[in-house]
Amino acid sequence: MNNFFQYLILSFLLAGPFTSVNADEGLPWWWDDAWWTQGQLEVPTNHKVKTEWSNAHNDDIEIPVMIARPDDNKNYPAVLFQHGRRGLDDLIQLHVKRLAARGFVVVAPDVFSGRFIEKLPIEHDYAVEGDVNAALDFLLARKDISSQRACVYSHTRGGYMTLKVAVKYKRQDNDLACYVSYYPHMQDPNAPEAMQVYRYAIEADDLKIPALIFIGENEQYQRRRSIEMAVTSLQEKQRPVRLIIYPGVGRGFDFRPEAVRTFADDLAAKDAIQRAARFMKQNLK
């Protein structure tokens, strides 16, 4: 597929809202009849964003948390943003703000700084999963949220951390409404090489809340395989999960900086965050 058609497909995806149609009509899930027959487009919601920093606590561990929310006095649905191997650096903080601009109170814990873990660690420290869980408590205790539950929103290794919080810590039972992740690491990062390529985390089979996962078609093979296997397993169990694959992009399309960013990256990132926002608001009502 050449670049023109990749961009054309992504442009169409960006225009259409996240809706489903009657399967009897034989139309794809992304079909938007109001756009096709009446020319109607959904206008994105934009909010001016304010940010601040605070701390969550997991016993004696102090976890820095970035808080981003619309700059007004209204309450908004709760979202926990979990960074991956990059940590919560400047590029990822921009993603936190872009998410808050869609109309959410977003808490983003910096679990590496809380335990003095260097950026881009190879091994996974399982203790940080408890810190993510504590950050979820911090979020749900806020007085400016409009939802009783939260959605978890993540990328890379953050997808594994939030999966563990949902399943191992049983937060999906009462506290989580949905799971969103960009190219999540769907395997224990400490598992042997063969497990990384040919298996996925067993916790994925126990995920019950609605899930929305984004990857690019150029995702690394060993990561894409485990994601697709986990999604297929969940779909076979009739779980509410959807995988969206964007043509022409690979890993990092949501945060790649100006010097290396492509038009396809930008189209995919804009489409993904709008679809994620609609998905989360539907599940946080």
Give 189-243 pLDDT, tens digit per residue: 999 999 999 999 999 999 999 999 999 999 999 999 999 999 999 999 999 999 9
Burial code (b: 16+ CB inside 10 Å, e: under 16) for 83-101 equals bbbbbbeeebbebbbbbbb
pLDDT score of 259: 94
| Fold that domain 46-283 belongs to in CATH | Rossmann fold (3.40.50)
Q: How confident is the model at residue 25 (pLDDT cuts 50, 70, 90)?
A: low
Please say whether the beta carbons of 246 and 214 come within 8 A: yes
The DSSP 8-state label assigned to residue 201 in this structure reads -
Q: What's the one-letter identity of residue 228?
A: E
Average pLDDT of span 78-93: 97
Q: Is 211 helix (H, G, I), strand (E, B) or coil?
A: strand
Question: Measured between alpha carbons, how far is 285 from 282 in angstroms, rounded to an integer?
Answer: 6
Q: Are 144 and 152 in contact (CB under 8 A)?
A: no
- Name all contacts of 1-6 with Cβ < 8 Å and 24+ positions apart: 1/247, 1/248, 3/248, 3/264, 6/247, 6/248, 6/264
The confidence score (pLDDT) of residue 41 equals 84
pTM of the entire predicted model: 0.90
pLDDT of residue 42: 85
pLDDT of residue 11: 45
Give the residue among 105, 156, 104, 160 at the shortest CA–CA distance from 132.
Answer: 160
Question: Which residues, 6 or more positions from 282, have their beta carbon under 8 angstroms from its beta carbon?
Answer: none
